[in-house]
Structure 1
Amino acid sequence: MVTPDAFFRIDVNPAREFVEIALSGLWSTDTIRRFETDLRRRLLDLPAIGRQRTLFDLTGFIVQVKEVAAGFERLAADRGIASRRIAVIGAAPLLRMQTRRVAPDYGLFTDRAAAMEWLFADAA
């Protein structure tokens, strides 16, 4: 079952090789399948997959059920959609723990400015 607040938005800026993703609500396995399909389609707008920097905004997201978390773990390990660097914004302690377990190399932040600074620190 998909809850009414299950939502995602994917914005791709090819010129900056930057992807911004916002997630919210409680997802089902169907929601993560739709997210993966849309993400793969949107990444084709980039000059090359793998060089992009990605910002996940999880401020409206909640801890997910085991099957959905497993879907995110699979996506995080998929080299075909990998990013150069990934930052995650989200303040909820349990969500930060789940993110750390699913994707230990992601940068975790509580505010957008710090996340953006970290994402682009080596871009100069």
Structure 2
Amino acid sequence: MQGEAYHIAVDPLREWVDIKLIGLWDHDTIRRFEADLRRDLTRLPAIGRQRTLFDLSDFIVQVPEVAAGFARLAADPGIASRRIAVIGPAPLLRMQARRVAPGYGFFGDRAEAVQWLNAADADDAPR
């Protein structure tokens, strides 16, 4: 767990990443978040196989500089996840998140997001 602006929990055995974002961020916060995320992801057996849950329940619409930082992270294959779900009940925040990361799944509650992430196993099976 890091800072008061975010919490990152990595479960290497389940290849699961659970991230909670909180409040209004600035440039330093996104920089610290990126450094902590990259460090924590090294605990995974391999990058790219994990499922990631972003909880934005206590997050707010961010300034353009911070949104651009998230867009850069979302496009970075060095920290990519197999599947990413976002919990964000606020309509404006969900709109901002969709612009930043259009390929993510968006949900109003945690149970629905977790179910979708766990169902990914069937979708990701080799064909």
Q: 1:105 to 1:74 in 2, by over 3 A?
A: same
Gaps of 5+ in 2: 123-127
Amino acid in structure 1 at the alignment position of 2:6: F
- CA distance in structure 2 between the partners assigned to 1:36 and 1:65 by the alignment: 17
Q: Which runs of 5+ in 1 are unaligned?
A: none
2:66 is the counterpart of 1:68: yes
Q: Alignment partner for residue 25 of structure 2, among 21, 24, 27? A: 27
- The answer to whether residue 79 in structure 2 is matched with residue 81 in structure 1 is yes
Q: Which of 113, 116, 126 matches 1:115?
A: 113
Partner of 1:48: 46
Shift of 1:6: 5.9
Identical aligned residues as a percent: 72
In 2, are the aligned partners of 1:6 and 1:27 still within 8 Å (CA)?
no
The total of aligned residue pairs comes to: 120
- Please say if residues 17 and 47 of structure 1, whose CA atoms lie closer than 8 Å, have aligned partners that are also in contact: yes
Q: Which TM-score applies when normalising by structure 1?
A: 0.94
Deviation string 1:26-84 (CA, Å, 9 cap, x unpaired) is: 00010000000000000000000000000000000000000000000000000000000
The residue type paired with residue 118 of structure 1 is W
Q: Within 2, Cα distance between the matches of 1:33 and 1:79?
A: 18
Please say if 1:98 is aligned against 2:96.
yes
Deviation at 1:120, TM superposition (A): 1.2
AA partner of residue 45 (structure 1): R
Structure 2: distance between partners of 1:115 and 1:38 = 23
Partner amino acid, structure 2, of 1:29 = H
* CA root-mean-square deviation: 1.2
The one-letter amino acid paired with 2:117 is L
SS at match of 1:117: helix
Give the TM-score normalised by the residue count of structure 2: 0.92
Any runs of at least 4 consecutive aligned residues in structure 1 with deviations exceeding 2 A, and if so which? none
